[in-house]
Amino acid sequence: MKEKLKKALNSRAMKNGAYASVMCALMVVLVIVVNLFVGALPERYTQWDLTDNSVYSLSNETEKLCESIDTDITLYYLARTGGEDSRTLSLLHQYEDLSSHIKVVQKDPVLYPTFGNQYDASDASLGSVIVDGGERYRVVDYTDLYQQSINYETYQYETSFDGEGQITAALAYVNSDVLPKIYILQGHGESGISSSLSSGLTRQNMETATLNLLTENSVPEDADVLLIHSPTKDLSEDETNKIVSYLDNGGTLLLVTNYGEYSDFNCQGLWVDSTGGNCD
Q: Say what the pTM is.
A: 0.62
29-74 pLDDT, tens digit each: 554 544 444 444 454 444 444 444 444 589 999 999 999 999 999 9
Residue 265 confidence (pLDDT): 39
110-144 pLDDT, tens digit each: 999 999 999 999 899 999 999 999 999 999 999 99
Strand spans (E) along the chain: 73-78, 102-107, 129-132, 137-140, 146-151, 156-161, 181-185, 207-211, 225-229, 253-256, 264-266, 270-272
Residue 192 confidence (pLDDT): 84
Say whether 96 sits in a helix, a strand or coil.
helix
Residue 232 or residue 55, greater confidence: 232
Query: At residue 148, does pLDDT exceed 60?
Result: yes
Residue 41 confidence (pLDDT): 44
Indicate the average pLDDT of the chain.
79
Q: Cα–Cα distance between 162 and 150 in angstroms, integer?
A: 16
Read off the DSSP letter of residue 273.
-
Query: At residue 9, does pLDDT exceed 70?
Result: no
Average pLDDT over residues 158-171: 94
Residue 155 confidence (pLDDT): 85
182-195 pLDDT, tens digit each: 999 999 988 888 77
Query: At residue 24, does pLDDT exceed 90?
Result: no
Residue 1 confidence (pLDDT): 62
Domains of the chain, each with CATH number or no CATH:
60-174 (3.40.30.10), 179-272 (3.40.50)
Query: At residue 269, does pLDDT exceed 70?
Result: no
Going by their DSSP bridges, the two strands 270-272 and 264-266 should be labelled as antiparallel
Are the C-beta atoms of 244 and 267 separated by less than 8 Å?
yes
Residue 45 confidence (pLDDT): 44
239-251 pLDDT, tens digit each: 999 999 999 999 9
Average pLDDT over residues 254-266: 57
Among 7-21, 89-103, 151-165, which is the least confidently predicted range? Answer: 7-21
Residue 22 confidence (pLDDT): 53
Average pLDDT over residues 100-106: 97
Q: Cα–Cα distance between 61 and 264 in angstroms, integer?
A: 37
Q: How many residues does the chain have?
A: 280
Q: Cα–Cα distance between 35 and 31 in angstroms, integer?
A: 6
Residue 201 confidence (pLDDT): 80
